[in-house]
Amino acid sequence: MSKRQASEALDEGPESPASKKSRFDDYNKSATPTSLGELESENDEQKQKLRENGTGASTEDVSDREEPDEFEEEAEEKAPIRQSAPTAGYDDLYLDTIDRNVLDFDFEKLCSVTLSNINVYACLVCGKYYQGRGPNTHAYFHALDEDHHVFINLSTQKVYVLPEGYEVKSKSLDDIKYVSDPRYTRQEVAEFDRKPRTSYTLQGKEYTPGFVGMNNIKENDYLNVIVQALSHVSPLRNFFLLEDFSNAPELVKRTSILFRKIWNPRAFKAHVSPHELLQEVSLCSNKRFTLTAQSDPVDFLSWYLNNLHLGLGGSKTKPQSSVVQRIFQGKLKVESQAITARADHLDRLRFEEATEIKVDIARFLLLTLDLPPAPLFQDEQERNIIPQVPLTTLLAKYNGVTAQELNAQRKRYRLMHPLPPFLLLHIKRFTKNRFIAERNPTIVVFDPRSGLDISPYVEPDPSQHPPDEPIIYDLVANVVHEAVRAKEDVADSAVGEQRKAWKVQLRDKATGEWVVAQDLFVEKAQAELLYLGESYLQVWERRKTPQKGKGKVLGKS
C-alpha cells in the first residue's frame, strides 16, 4: 500500500487559485492604466498570464484604457504658454484690430456672461465685457473663439494681449485709457470756467466739454437733469473731478466717474450714459428710483444729496460736515403762532391771535416756492390764459412778514446769515390729493442776465453783511418741465394722456451763453427767453463781487 502524497493534496486545494485571483484583483484595482499599458508593451506573455488568471481584460480592453492617457499626454504637451512680454519685433501685434467706434465705457462693469463685477476686462475689438484673462476664463475663450486679442482691465487701465497674456505698453493706447477713466489736474479744472473750449469726437463732431447729451435709456430724464445741473456747481464739480474716491462708497465713486466723463475734452462721442450710476441708485434706493419709471427730480435730488452727504463721511446731526452741506445748506428762522378760537356771548366763534410766538432755527438744502392757484375760468376772449408771476413774488414767503396758515398754526419764514454759496429753489407745480394729481402751468418770470437780490429776504446781521448792500445770486441751471402728449385718439378728437418730460438750461461761464440739454439733444438758447418754460428747479450761485451800476437788479427797485 502506497503512501498518499501530502504535497499534492496541499497544492490542489480549492482555495489556492482563488487566493491568487484575489491578490491580482487588488493589484488591478490599484494599478493605473499607464502601468497596464507598460506591462502590455513590454511583455506579451504576461498579458496571456493575466487572462489565464481570470482578470477578464482582453487586448481591446487594454487599448481602450490607454486612450485617456494619450489625450492627457497631448493636453500636457499643448498647455498654453504665457508670455510676460511680447516677442521681439512684435510690440504692436494686434493693435491694428482695435475699433474705437464701438468702445463704450459708460455701462456698468459686469461680465457679459457671469454678470460678475470682479476682475472685468473690456475687449477693444468688439467692446464687450468679460471676466478674467487667465486660462479657462471667459476673456481667454473669447480671444480664441472670436480671434479678438486686445483687452483692457477696467480697474487698473492696463492693456493685455490674449491668449499670450502679456501687457502692452504703447503710447497709442493712451487715448483709450483716458476715455475709460479721465483724470484732470488742478490747472485744467480751474480753466473750465475761464477759457472757452471746443473739442471733436472721432467722427469730427464738435462739442463743448461739460455740455454734452445724456442718454435717456427709458424714463430716466429726471436723473439726467439733476446730474447735469449738479455737474455745473463749480465747488462740487471740482471736488468730484480732483479727489481720489478709490475707497469711497460705490455711489460716490460712480458720481465722480460720471462727472469726469461729462467734462472729458477727449471723448470719442458727444454724449455720455448714466447707466452705471443708475444701477447703483436703483440698488441703494430699493428701486425707488429706476430707469424704467419716471420720478420727480426734486424727490431724487433730496435723496441724492443726502446719500452723497453720508457717503462722503457727513454726520446726520452735525451741520456743515461734508462738502454737500457746505455748498447748499443754509439756516432759516421759523416763527410759529397758534391760531385759537373762543365763543362770545352770542355763541359765535371769534378767532384771535395767540400772544406767544415760538421761534425755531431750521436748516435747509433747498427752498420751496408756492405758486398762486391757477385761474379756473377763461379770459374775455374765451381762451385759457397762462398766468405769470415774478420770482420775487414767490420769494416773499421768506421776508419774515408774509404768514402762512398750516395745521392751525400761522408761520413766518426768513433766511439767516451766513447764506450758502448756492441756493436751490423748488417751484412747487404739482399737487396730489386722494383723487387726482394736478399741475400748475403758471410761468415764473425772472431775468438771468441781471441776477437776483436776496437781501430783502435775509435777517439783517451787520457782523455778517452790511445792511445796505445787496446780496446777488446768478442763475447757473434751470430745470424745466414739459407736458408731452403720450397718445391721442384722432377719431374722437380726445386729448391724450400726458406724461412728464424734463430738460435743463445751463449757463456756460466761459462764454456767458446758455445751452439747453434734453437727453441727447444740446443746443444754444437765448437768455431772455428762458423764463417761458415751466421752471421747476433752479440753482443760483452767490456772486462774490457784486457788479454795481450795471442795469437793474431783479428784486430791487
- For 25-37, write each residue's pLDDT tens digit: 444 444 444 444 4
Exposed / middle / buried, residue 109 (Cβ in 10 Å: 0-12, 13-18, 19+):
middle
DSSP 8-state symbol, 489 = B
Whole-number pLDDT of residue 235: 95
pLDDT of 494: 44
Percent of the chain with pLDDT over 70: 75
Q: Where are the domains of the chain?
A: 16-77, 95-179, 204-324, 333-364+366-542
* DSSP conformational letter for 77: H
Cα distance between residue 424 and residue 367, in whole Å? 6
The answer to whether the beta carbons of residues 519 and 213 sit under 8 Å apart is yes
Q: Decide if 555 contacts 392 (C-beta within 8 A).
A: yes
The confidence band for 501, taking pLDDT boundaries of 50, 70 and 90, is: very high
Specify the pLDDT at position 265.
94
What is the model's pLDDT at position 75?
Answer: 41
Per the CB < 8 A criterion, the answer to whether 327 and 422 are in contact is yes
Fold of 204-324: Cathepsin B; Chain A (3.90.70)
Alpha helices per DSSP H over 169-265: 174-180, 186-190, 221-230, 234-242, 250-262
| Mean pLDDT value across residues 86-103 | 79
**Model confidence over 442-460: pLDDT tens digits?**
999 999 988 999 999 999 9
Average pLDDT, the chain: 81
Between 297-311 and 250-262, two packed helices, what is the crossing angle to 10 degrees? 110
CA 112 to chain centre: 19
Q: For the segment 152-181, what is each residue's pLDDT rounded down to a tens digit? A: 999 999 999 988 888 998 899 999 999 999
Least confident stretch, 62-76, 214-228, 248-262, 441-455: 62-76
pLDDT tens digits along 63-88: 334 444 444 444 444 556 676 666 65
Please tell me the CATH code under which domain 333-364+366-542 is placed.
3.90.70.10
Q: Do domains 204-324 and 333-364+366-542 have the same CATH topology?
A: yes
As assigned by CATH, the class of the 95-179 domain is alpha beta
Q: From CA 526, how far away is CA 539, in angstroms rounded?
A: 18
Average pLDDT of the residues in 3-10: 48
- Among 29-43, 149-163, 297-311, which is the least confidently predicted range? 29-43
